Amino acid sequence: MKLKNLLLVTGGAAIGYVLGTRAGRARFEELKSRANEFVHSPKVQESVSTVADKVQESAQKMPGPAADLVKGAAEQVKHAVDGGSENPRRAEDAGS
C-alpha cells in the first residue's frame, strides 16, 4: 500500500511540474508538437488507413448489426485520416 501511495504522489508531482511551471509548459508544448508530427506523418496515416481497410474486410464476417457498426467506425477513421472534416455518417444521414 505504501508503494502505491508513493507512486501516486510522485506521479502527481510530475504532472504538476509539467503543467505548472514555465519549463514544464515548454516541455509539454514540445511533447505535444512531437506527438502531432507523429500522428500526421505519412507512415502513420498510411498504417491507419490500412488497418481501417482490414477492419472493414473483417466486418464482413460479423453478424449484421455488429458488422454495420464496425464498418461505420472504420469509415470514420479512414475519413479522418484522409483529411475529411465532415463525419461520413452524418453526411450519409443527411442524404437519406
On whether both 57 and 20 belong to a single domain, the answer is no
Region at 27 (left for phi over 0; alpha for psi -120 to 50; beta for the rest) = alpha
Indicate the number of domains in the chain.
2
On whether both 90 and 65 belong to a single domain, the answer is yes
pLDDT digits (tens, 9 = 90+) for 25-71: 788 889 999 999 998 899 988 888 888 888 888 888 888 788 888 88
**What is the domain extent for residue 79?**
42-95
pLDDT digits (tens, 9 = 90+) for 4-22: 788 889 988 888 877 777 7
Give the span between the Cα atoms of 78 and 71, in whole angstroms.
10
On whether both 35 and 47 belong to a single domain, the answer is no
On whether both 82 and 48 belong to a single domain, the answer is yes
On whether both 21 and 61 belong to a single domain, the answer is no
For the chain, what is the mean pLDDT?
A: 78
pLDDT value, residue 33: 94
On whether both 46 and 35 belong to a single domain, the answer is no
